[in-house]
Amino acid sequence: MSIQDIIQIILFITLLIAFTPILGNYMSNVFTGSRHFMQPVFGWSERLIYKFAGINSNEETNWKFYTFGLLLFNLTGFVFVFLIQIFQQYLPFNPSHLANVSWHSAFNTSVSFVTNTNWQGYAGETTLSYFVQMVGLTVQNFVSAATGIAVILAVIRGISRKTTDKLGNFWTDLTRSVLYVLLPLSIIFAIILVGQGVVQNFNSYETVQTLQGAEQTIPMGPAASQIAIKQLGTNGGGFFNTNSSHPFENPTPFSNFLEMLFILLIPAALTYTYGKMVGSVRQGWTIFLVMMILFVSGLSISLYSEYSANPIFGDLQLMEGKETRFGITNSVLWSTSTSAASNGSVNAMHDCLSPFAGMVAMVNIMLGEIIFGGVGAGLYGMVVFIIITVFIAGLMVGRTPEYLGKKIEAFEVQMAIIAILAPGFVILVFSAWASVSSAGLSSLNNAGPHGFSEILYAFSSAAGNNGSAFAGLNANTLFYNLTLGFGMLIGRFGIIVPVLAIAGNMAKKKITPVSLGTFRTDNWLFAGLLIAVILIVGGLTFFPAISLGPIIEHLLMKNGITF
């Protein structure tokens, strides 16, 4: 590692810390209905949307209505994206005359974008028309991220309110997230990206002659606008198949740095918003601290693994599959960020990471996508772990467990367990199914433990709504389209529904005032305990599976065997 690499990582983390309170404070203003500077700019369209859709923005609902609205909205989105894919050849903006998409691929893709996963079983430029990309996918990039924010807002209200059953208005939360947070940031970001050379046009693909004299088709399209939101909304679905390793998606070191930063920007800032809205900024920073410690640990392991000598090739840093333009550090920083944040965009092929760096990416996802995590999703996933931690810690100090004055009782524990079980179920059971069925095994690109890692990674990615892939797996088959599709649904709504139920139940409770016997949740001790619970629960669940994949592979590599 060179000194520049280290400076870049420090700069990256510093900027992330610096932006957190700025954006976090702004979002808190937006969501509490306070005045903020974007109101004059987009306020008219907010009012117009409410008027048009017949929404009374002041009317609040209980958790069941809130959940119902959320599910209905996502179902509508799914049906719409599904339909425009299977009929894309009859729809406009299809200059390259791409054919209709198969039903199972369309199912997989629409689930994928509705659930903020952006797993792509298809190659973007050869499968989907500009119309589907823009009207279907880009729209979902916005609203799926906004859905995540709406859930965490409901959780915040559940914690900070007392003896009420009102959790807010889903439609208002959704509209404000899109209008005042995602849209303005995306516009700024897209303009910067275009300035760096990312394409943004409606041209048909161009055919050029290469230096060797061969013919090559160069895909075009409105890439910058989709890339901006794919990073910001922790979506990750690339405009082109090779995602951000494509020069039209990620042309310069500066665009690379920004794209990495923008993956973590909103999830990190939401911790501050959370702290502000529950009435203690320290609580937010404690969560930020926990996420940052886990992030830096994973990054360190990956960097160490990539930079240490590979016993087969001697001292070389292996560049195969890495982002060759920007170097190993940028490949690893990206892989760690994208897997930590449930983003899923890539600039290097995770298949080609060293076993331990690949394992870090996989573990980041398996832990439940809570290391910053998806927009909103990471934070509410973290709240689930906080509930478990507070419960165990509360028992250990001999006090009925409470978090921010709310008692943690059987119902909360039960829902938290369901939320932890849902993705674990998908990862373990579906991977097991794939590794014994011929339909699952026939898609493998690599042999041995690496092939197993590919399967495990795919289902982890689906369950964690991450969307990145180990890329060695041919996932556009009936089997994988369906299993991964259902995996994404369970991984998304199997957490959202219990979390909203927790929020609804908490809102009904009284707030216990702080006393000497209250167990604090905003200090280093709690942060350490939370990390331990996350690692132990995650580790105990997945240790056998991981040891048969990346760990064996790493040990074999030490002995000079690769796959």
Partner 1 sequence: MSTKQNTNSLFNKKILIQAAKDSVFKLNPVMLIKNPVIFIVAIGSLLTTVVVISDIVNNSFSSFNFQIAIWLWFTVLFANFSEAIPEGRAKALTESLRNNRTQTTASKVEWSQEVSVYATELKKGDTVVCESGDIIPSDGEVIEGIASVDESAITGESAPVIRESGGDRSAVTGGTKVISDRILIQITSEPGNTFIDRMIALVEGAKRQKTPNEIALSILLSGLSIIFLLAVVTLPAFFGYSLSASGLPMSQNLTLPVLIALLVCLIPTTIGGLLSAIGISGMDRLLQRNVMATDFIPAEGVKNEELADAAQLSSLSDETPEGRSIVILAKEKFNIRGREVHQLNATFIPFTAQTRMSGVDFKTADGKLHQIRKGASEAIRTFVQTNNGFYPQKIQDIVSDLARQGATPLVVAEDNRVLGVIHLKDIVKGGIKQRFAELRKMGIKTVMITGDNSLTAAAIAAEAGVDDFMAEATPEDKLRRIREEQANGHLVGMIGDGTNDAPALAQADIGIAMNSGTQAAREAGNMVDLDSNPTKLIEVVEVGKQLLMTRGSLTTFSIANDVAKYFAIMPAIAISLYSGGSGVGPLSALNIMNLGSPQSAILSAVIFNALIIILLVPLALKGVRYRPVSANNALIRNLLIFGVGGLIAPFAGIKLIDVLINL
204-212, 216-224, 259-267, 404-412 -> range binding partner 1 (CB under 8 A): 404-412
Query: Contacts with partner 1: how many residues (CB under 8 A)?
Result: 71
d(CA 530, CA 390): 8
Minimum CB–partner distance for residue 160 and partner 1 (Å): 13
Shorter beta-carbon distance to partner 1: residue 199 or 458: 458
Shorter beta-carbon distance to partner 1: residue 199 or 426: 426
d(CA 551, CA 355): 7
46-54, 214-222, 291-299, 517-525 -> range binding partner 1 (CB under 8 A): 517-525
CB 455 within 8 A of CB 479: no
Shorter beta-carbon distance to partner 1: residue 27 or 418: 418
Shorter beta-carbon distance to partner 1: residue 113 or 457: 457
Minimum CB–partner distance for residue 527 and partner 1 (Å): 13
Phi–psi pair at 38, nearest 5 degrees: -85, -10
Shorter beta-carbon distance to partner 1: residue 306 or 402: 402
Q: Is 395 one of the binding residues for partner 1 (CB under 8 A)?
A: yes
Shorter beta-carbon distance to partner 1: residue 17 or 525: 525
Phi–psi pair at 484, nearest 5 degrees: -65, -35
Dihedral, CA of residue 336, residue 337, residue 338 and residue 342, to nearest 10: 110
CB 301 within 8 A of CB 11: no
- Going from the C-alpha of 282 to that of each of 379, 394, 520, the distances in angstroms are 15, 20, 11
- The 3-state DSSP class for residue 216 equals strand
Q: Is 537 one of the binding residues for partner 1 (CB under 8 A)?
A: yes
Near partner 1 by CB under 8 A: residue from 35, 214, 410, 438: 410
Nearest to 493 by CA among 413, 426, 412: 426
Binders in 476-515 for partner 1, by CB under 8 A: 510-513, 515
Minimum CB–partner distance for residue 542 and partner 1 (Å): 7
Got the DSSP string for 272-326?
Answer: HHHHHHHT-HHHHHHHHHHHHHHHHHHHHHHHHHHHSPBTTTBTPPP-TTS-TTT
Minimum CB–partner distance for residue 510 and partner 1 (Å): 4
3-state helix vs strand vs coil in the chain, percent to 5: 65, 5, 30
Residue 217's beta-bridge partner residues? 207
Binders in 365-394 for partner 1, by CB under 8 A: 388, 391-394
Q: Is 93 one of the binding residues for partner 1 (CB under 8 A)?
A: no
84-92, 428-436, 480-488, 490-498 -> range binding partner 1 (CB under 8 A): 428-436
Site track for partner 1 across 150-169, x = CB under 8 A: ------------x-------
Shorter beta-carbon distance to partner 1: residue 249 or 412: 412
Minimum CB–partner distance for residue 108 and partner 1 (Å): 23
Phi–psi pair at 250, nearest 5 degrees: -145, 80
Q: Which two tokens stand for residue 165?
A: 């059953």
Shorter beta-carbon distance to partner 1: residue 99 or 514: 514
52-60, 332-340, 416-424, 467-475 -> range binding partner 1 (CB under 8 A): 416-424
- For tokens 């016997």, name the residue: 517
Minimum CB–partner distance for residue 464 and partner 1 (Å): 16
Q: Is 211 one of the binding residues for partner 1 (CB under 8 A)?
A: no
Nearest to 28 by CA among 143, 149, 116: 149
66-74, 213-221, 377-385, 533-541 -> range binding partner 1 (CB under 8 A): 533-541
Which residue spans within 82-231 are E strands per DSSP? 206-209, 215-218
Q: Is 5 one of the binding residues for partner 1 (CB under 8 A)?
A: no
149-157, 169-177, 302-310, 414-422 -> range binding partner 1 (CB under 8 A): 414-422
d(CA 267, CA 24): 9
Near partner 1 by CB under 8 A: residue from 210, 398, 438, 560: 398
Binders in 435-454 for partner 1, by CB under 8 A: 435-436, 441, 447-449, 451-452
Shorter beta-carbon distance to partner 1: residue 68 or 543: 543
d(CA 535, CA 382): 12
Shorter beta-carbon distance to partner 1: residue 106 or 408: 408
Shorter beta-carbon distance to partner 1: residue 181 or 444: 444
The single-letter code of the amino acid at 426 is: V
CB 454 within 8 A of CB 473: yes
247-255, 336-344, 375-383, 409-417 -> range binding partner 1 (CB under 8 A): 409-417
Q: Is 296 one of the binding residues for partner 1 (CB under 8 A)?
A: no
Q: Is 541 one of the binding residues for partner 1 (CB under 8 A)?
A: yes
The single-letter code of the amino acid at 15 is: L
- Going from the C-alpha of 114 to that of each of 137, 492, 521, the distances in angstroms are 8, 10, 34
